[in-house]
Amino acid sequence: MAMNFKRRLPIPKEIREEMPLRSDLVEAKQRFDEQVAAIFRGEDDRRVLIIGPCSADREDSVLDYMTHLAKLQERVVDRLVIIPRVYTNKPRTKGTGYKGLLHNPDPEAPADLLEGVKAIRHMHLRVIEETGFFTADEMLYPSNYQYLIDLLSYVAIGARSVENQEHRLVSSGVPVPVGMKNPTAGSTTVMLNSIYAAQAPQSFIYRNWEVETEGNPLAHAVLRGYIGLDGRTYPNYHYEHLERLAERYTEEAGYANPAVIVDCNHDNSGKRPFEQLRICKEVLDSCRRNEDVSRLVRGFMVESYLEDGNQPVDGGVYGKSITDACIGWEKTERLVLNLAERV
């Protein structure tokens, strides 16, 4: 047998009913989502900062981090709107290894997807209820997005998924901003095609339903660098990259609300997380030099946790990433305050 159907999992509606978002927070989320939408529409000149651990691996350290971050948000709210990364499923280039909380609610135990679908919602709910943040996650599996549809204020489409038809179609029906990353090989044309598809009305089959969407006018670009033919990492956040993209990615070319988020880690930093502050500074300098670039750049993505660096899954250091290396809290605070000062 090619597939062993082990057990039926609860459908998203059942999980949402079992673990609901409080009614007062439903209204708060609507207000917050409108603030974020205004930034992406260019009606609010603040910047969005999507920041947090590479992977949300365990509740205690993630909540500890988010508590610190919530206090920092209060200090910069007039300049920055923070959406914390609570990334609960991780793409694996070779398809093996730790795949995130969805697969491994206990990182050191075998995969358990039944507990995983409950764990991802529980993680997001605790962050929202205990800090007042509304969250961001990567839509690695489009069919699973509905487990979190009422909680997320930002959705990312990863570099390995952005050319996938289902990701593009589902993104057209997401009610919050969706960031479409450039693919790992770096093509901005692929990225722009994905944005165009996500902004267009679509009809398709989703979870055994025939569905229609009106298109998502808040779908936008995320620049994350790329891997060249020589296998080395290359950035795409420099002034010339932003200038050229601003020339192609316009309302006249058929795009609603052209916007860019700069991912300061991954191939833009060459997986050197301590470069993220420098990258933020350079991008804001480019914004000061060119009005078109300034209108286009709406924010940043940063990978940050309690401790610098990363460790193996069984490393045992509290608040240290078990996937990509992050900056620790001291550097995070410095980055956020410096960014707010320069916006």
* Long-range Cβ contacts of 329-333 (<8 Å, 24+ apart): 329/65, 329/68, 329/304, 329/305, 331/274, 331/277, 331/304, 332/51, 332/69, 332/72, 332/302, 332/304, 333/68, 333/72
H or E element in which residue 9 lies: none
CB 139 within 8 A of CB 145: yes
Give bridge partners of residue 321 from the DSSP assignment. 310
pLDDT of residue 1: 63
Residue 7 lies in a domain: no
Query: Residue 2's pLDDT is what?
Result: 84
pLDDT of residue 161: 97
Whole-number pLDDT of residue 3: 86
Q: Which residues pair with 302 in a beta bridge?
A: 51
Q: Report, as ranges of residue numbers, the positions in the chain whose pLDDT lies below 70.
A: 1
Identify the CA nearest to 104 among candidates 125, 94, 93, 89: 89
Domain assignment present for residue 5? The answer is no
151: in domain: yes
334 φ/ψ angles, rounded to the nearest 5 degrees: -65, -40
What digits encode the pLDDT tens for the residues 305-336? 999 999 999 999 999 999 999 999 999 999 99
Q: Is residue 324 part of a domain?
A: yes
Number of domains in the chain: 1
Name the CA dihedral angle for 313, 314, 320, 324, rounded to a multiple of 10 degrees. Answer: -20
Q: pLDDT tens, 8-18?
A: 999 999 999 99
Does residue 246 lie in a domain region?
yes
Q: Is residue 176 part of a domain?
A: yes
DSSP reduced 3-state for 58 = coil
Helix (H, G, I), strand (E, B) or coil at 246: helix
Which tokens sit at 86?
């609570």
Residue 335 lies in a domain: yes
CA–CA gap between residue 267 and residue 273 (Å, rounded): 10
C-alpha 32/C-alpha 190 separation (Å) is 30
pTM of the model: 0.96
Give the pLDDT of residue 92. Answer: 79
- By residue range, what is the domain housing residue 238? 12-342
The CATH number of residue 169's host domain is 3.20.20.70
Tell me the three state secondary structure of residue 335. Answer: helix
Domain assignment of residue 1, yes or no:
no
Q: At what angle do helices 276-289 and 329-342 cross, to 10 degrees?
A: 10
CA dihedral 85, 248, 215, 87 (to 10 degrees): -10
Report pLDDT digits (tens) over 222-257: 999 999 999 999 999 999 999 999 999 999 999 999
- Euclidean distance between the first and final Cα of the chain, in Å? 57
For 140, list phi and psi in degrees, rounded to 5: -75, -40
- Helix (H, G, I), strand (E, B), or coil: what is residue 302? strand
What is residue 313's DSSP assignment? T
